[in-house]
Amino acid sequence: MCNSRMKRCIFFALLFGLAACETVLDPYGRPIEAPLGMPGGDVAGGGGTFSLITPQQEIDLGQQLAAEIERQQRVHPDPQLQAYVDGVGQRLVAHVTRHDIPYSFVVIDSPDINAFSLPGGRTYVYTGLMKLASNEAELAAVMAHEIAHLALRHHAATITRQYGFEMLTGIILGQNPDERSRLVADLVGAGIHARYSRDQERAADELGMQLLANAGYNPEAMLTIFEKMRTAAQTRPNLPIFASHPTTGERLQRLQALLQTFPVNVRADSPIYAERYQEQALSKI
Ligand code: ZN
């Protein structure tokens, strides 16, 4: 199989004289290609761009942004709910090949239908989105898509391209509070996510569905939650997640085709955990 990701991988391998590619097979024998060992930056999966901030800078930047977001937004006060959602996230993270960032998950108490991940590993899930999901697998599907953006190193490349290396290092050093606020506003709104390329979105859907199945959830949940988001967008079109992740008919068709690549028993028998979700999430939000 010689796809564009593999070609790009080989290109960077030649450029740096490194064996930069590793091919990992998922449990169904399909290849997952992960670029490895990039000095001073990483190849962004699906986007074809080259990031200039290092993983450590990405983590430092994420911490700055998280502090600002958690000042502005209401973190849900129930520790059991937080632990439950973090548990769902960690079950998915157990199947990623990127391990140089700490993955964490935080519930924001807000009616907005929203979820996004920060550079450096933190993902926020809004209670408005959690209410739209009717089982744990649907929540996990959205989280898996966000984890996939992180695992495929989309953040560093996208924000470096958008904001520039100097501005980002200024924010990391705490020298640039106004720019930090602007970046946070972009992250909470559609700004940064709207700049993910279509290739990056496709790659995040693809890896996300794989993570979902590998973690033992029914991969069909990705299709059902995106269908619900599409319906919700018809009455609440101005919410940021719809601008950043438009659920078009084309996307649903693509997800449907992707679903067919999983074995019949995985599609038929994998659980969605509706009762557990009711008890541990819906009853508390
Ligand atoms: Zn996305």
- Look at residue 275 in the predicted model and tell me its pLDDT: 97
Q: How many residues does the chain have?
A: 285
Mean pLDDT by runs of 10 across the 285 residues of the chain is 41 32 41 36 42 84 92 96 98 96 97 90 95 97 96 87 85 86 79 72 95 98 93 73 68 94 94 98 97
Domain locations in the chain? 54-284
Q: Is the pTM of this model over 0.75?
A: yes
Q: How far is the centre of ligand 1, averaged over its atoms, from the C-alpha of 242 (Å)?
A: 10
CA–centroid distance, 93 to ligand 1, in Å, is 16
At residue 272, the pLDDT reads 98
pLDDT at 120: 94
Q: Measured in Å, how far apart are the chain's first and last C-alpha atoms?
A: 46
Per 3-state DSSP, what percentage of the chain is helix, strand, and coil (rounded to 5)?
60, 10, 30
> 123: CA distance to ligand 1 center in Å?
12
Could you please report the per-residue DSSP string of 232-267? HHHH-TT-HHHHHS---HHHHHHHHHHHTTS-HHHH
pLDDT at 12: 35
The pLDDT of residue 162: 81
Please tell me the distance between residue 278's alpha carbon and the centre of ligand 1 in angstroms.
26
Predicted confidence at residue 181, as pLDDT, reads 87
pLDDT at residue 35, rounded to an integer: 35
What is the distance of C-alpha 152 from the center of its chain? 9
- Residues near ion ligand 1 (CB < 5 Å) are 204
In this predicted structure, what is the pLDDT of residue 241? 63
Q: What is the Å distance from ligand 1's center to 227 Cα?
A: 15
**Residue 85: CB partners within 8 Å, gap ≥ 6?**
105, 106, 107, 125, 130, 139, 143, 281
For residues 89 and 123, give the distance between their C-alpha atoms in angstroms, rounded to a whole number. 9
Q: Which helix (H) or strand (E) holds 104?
A: strand 104-108
Structure tokens that stand for 83 in this block? 């632990």
Ligand 1 centroid – CA 17 distance (Å): 32
